[in-house]
Structure 1
Amino acid sequence: MTYSVSRRTALGAAFAGLASHSFSLFAQPTWPSRPVNMIVPFPAGGGTDAFARPLAVQFSKLTGRQLVIDNKGGAGGTLGATLAARATPDGYNLFMGAVHHAIAPSMYPKLEYDLEKDLEPLILVASVPQVLVVNPNKVSAANFADFLKLVRANPGKLNYGSAGNGTSHHLAGELFKQQTRTFITHIAYRGAGPALQGLIAGDVEMMFDGLGSSAAHIQGGRIKALMVSGAQRNPALPDVPCAAELGLPDYTVTTWYGIWTPKGSPADARARAIEEIRKACQSD
């Protein structure tokens, strides 16, 4: 898979610890004996989907069994999580979530699932920085400094799109507003894919998006990157300055992606899933 994982978070260690602690080293390689379903809780075209699809291709090559991507977008990713929590725990149902699902309980106190009780973490797949991207036809700024002047001169008149309320895209935008003392209007979409399409179409002027879903559009010239979050530039965008360079040393926003199973899924299937998904992530 092409995009380098920028860094493993503490949550990654938690995933790995849970993976290694519970499962027998002598699990027999009988899984999978049929196609595996994986719910992706956002529409196609977003960051979660962008990592899920190449993973599915590699998984199928390695195991000879299809990993079926089932996009169930809505409610900031919580609709798909609800469906995953209710899925049969037979080892053939997976859920690819993201940082949004760690945020959701704080944003939505009446969720129809409990992340800790209804789902079990399996493996961390990737971690990527957020990047500030704009529509070059709507925002004439040549660089971040020009962009900031434009935003400050037009409080509330510029919009940023997100994957939905409570997602990392949304909170990245609100953190940016707080740290730069600016006012931009939030427009929530039903996933990062639709938000990116809105940005490309000019329906919104900007977006704070995970690098995984934005990179191809940046390289294609459809959107322009002005800043990568964090303290250092990203190898995928070497010419784009990082937040620390631009006077925002505390602006660090990372989106991670991980896979869960419904609570009670067989230990041997989980162990094999970890093994095959890890190999798929390391494949070209």
Structure 2
Amino acid sequence: MMTRLLTVFLSACACLCGTAVHAAYPDKPVRLIVPWAPGGSTDAIARAIAQRMSDTLGQSVVVDNRSGASGRIGTEAAAKALPDGYTFAIVELPHAIAPAVFSKMPYDLLRDFTPISMVGSSPLVLFVSGAQYKNGQIRDFLKNGRSSAAPFALAHSGNGSISHLSGELLAAATGLRINPIPYRGSAPALTDVVAGQVAGHFATMASGSALLAGGKLSALVVTGSARLPGLSDVPTAREAGIAGMQFNQWWALVAPATTPIEIVERLRKEALAALAHPSTRERLTTLGINLKGSSRDELRTFMRNEVEQWGEIVRKAGIRPE
């Protein structure tokens, strides 16, 4: 009888201790890895979410920018982080494209991460120097490019990024000769567009809005299915007669694989609350971002489909893996 009572007592203690440990999460700052340089759309989204989650989690959510290798450096760090709930990451469309353009990957998007939630999506915009073109002058840009003796230099955010593939798709659809130039993110790429060092760069409105509002950039065409609010004079690629360029950039939150499900669900709950908060929506929807959360299963299925679909697009475009 005493042995049985002792067993029950110890089991109860274990349950209480487990509950205490769970209830204590988080008891230190949480890290949100952004695999791109500060100043771009991904960074803006991450900081908006981190600010709200810091309030509701009761601990700071610290944005950790780790750029390089077309987003692979920061994402690899996230994949290899301790699966304890104190590190999660924001991933996006380029991470679904990467397996098709790089022969060796340091992580597997579908295997090495646990989905948390979708964040949102946005079309890309072809930005050029505001000193050379006005909004919507995509035909003039293409005409000048075709008659140029040298290929047009198009900046992109690294090999395999959506801005890189956008340039390749534009060239294939229009006959424009391009010279792709890699950067560590959209912020430095757009700086060189303004300076005239490169002819243009595909990026989201979130990345180019400030320079666009200041007249330093112009927007020529958008990749989405509809024109963007506030850019009624900028046609979609379909309206401009450019085939095969109707797609959106997207963003999602993931945690290292084997992160406890109860912690993943806590992060998902807080992320969804952050996306629904009026200040977050006002801050991000004005940048052309359509905010939309998801279940973990919905995100898992979505990412799997994106990897398959963009793998086929890359193969049809004739881009060989590096």
Q: TM-score, normalised by structure 1?
A: 0.85
What is the one-letter code of the residue matched to 1:279? A
- Segment of structure 1 superposing worse, 165-174 or 152-161: 152-161
Q: Cα–Cα, structure 1 residues 142 and 227, in superposed 2: closer, same or farther, change >3 Å?
A: closer
Residue in 1 that maps onto 2:249: 255
Q: Cα–Cα, structure 1 residues 81 and 136, in superposed 2: closer, same or farther, change >3 Å?
A: same
Shift of 1:242: 1.3
Tell me, yes or no, if structure 1 residue 182 matches structure 2 residue 145.
no
Residue in 2 that maps onto 1:215: 209
Residues 193-212 of structure 1: matches in 2 within 5 Å?
193-212=187-206
Secondary structure of the corresponding residue to residue 33 of structure 1 = coil
Matched positions, count: 257
Residue in 2 that maps onto 1:76: 70
Residue in 1 that maps onto 2:106: 112
- How many Å separate the matches in 2 of 1:142 and 1:41? 31
Q: Per-residue displacement from partner, 1:119-166 (whole Å, max 9, x unpaired)?
A: 122111110001111012355797122112111111534211011010
Moved >6 Å (runs of 4+) = none
Residue in 2 that maps onto 1:89: 83
- Segment of structure 1 superposing worse, 28-37 or 81-90: 28-37
The equivalent position to 1:136 in structure 2, one of 130, 133, 139, is 130
Residues 1-284 of structure 1: matches in 2 within 5 Å?
31-138=25-132, 143-154=137-148, 156-283=150-277, 284=279
Q: Is the 8 A contact 2:98 2:160 kept in 1?
A: yes
What is the one-letter code of the residue matched to 1:258? A
- Segment of structure 1 superposing worse, 45-54 or 57-66: 57-66
Shift of 1:251: 1.7
Secondary structure of the corresponding residue to residue 96 of structure 1 = strand
Q: Is the 8 A contact 1:155 1:182 kept in 2?
A: no
Secondary structure of the corresponding residue to residue 249 of structure 2 = strand
Residue in 1 that maps onto 2:15: none
- How many Å separate the matches in 2 of 1:64 and 1:202? 46
Q: Cα–Cα, structure 1 residues 31 and 189, in superposed 2: closer, same or farther, change >3 Å?
A: same
- How many Å separate the matches in 2 of 1:129 and 1:268? 33
Q: Cα–Cα, structure 1 residues 31 and 156, in superposed 2: closer, same or farther, change >3 Å?
A: farther
- How many Å separate the matches in 2 of 1:122 and 1:238? 35
Task: Show structure 1 runs of 5+ residues with no match.
Answer: 1-27
Shift of 1:273: 0.5
Q: Per-residue displacement from partner, 1:79-135 (whole Å, max 9, x unpaired)?
A: 111111110100110011111111111111211212222112211111000111101
RMSD of aligned alpha carbons: 1.8
Secondary structure of the corresponding residue to residue 239 of structure 2 = helix
Shift of 1:245: 1.6
What is the one-letter code of the residue matched to 1:62? T
Q: Per-residue displacement from partner, 1:158-186 (whole Å, max 9, x unpaired)?
A: 21101101000000010001111111211
What is the one-letter code of the residue matched to 1:113? Y
Secondary structure of the corresponding residue to residue 244 of structure 1 = coil
- How many Å separate the matches in 2 of 1:89 and 1:142? 47
- How many Å separate the matches in 2 of 1:238 and 1:138? 20
- How many Å separate the matches in 1 of 2:45 and 2:138? 28
Q: Per-residue displacement from partner, 1:237-277 (whole Å, max 9, x unpaired)?
A: 23322112211253213110111100111111100100100
- How many Å separate the matches in 2 of 1:250 and 1:107? 19
- How many Å separate the matches in 2 of 1:75 and 1:279? 32
Shift of 1:30: 5.0
Over the matched positions of the two proteins, sequence identity in percent amounts to 37
Structure (1 or 2) with the larger CA radius of gyration: 2
Q: Is the 8 A contact 1:231 1:245 kept in 2?
A: no
- How many Å separate the matches in 2 of 1:155 and 1:170? 22
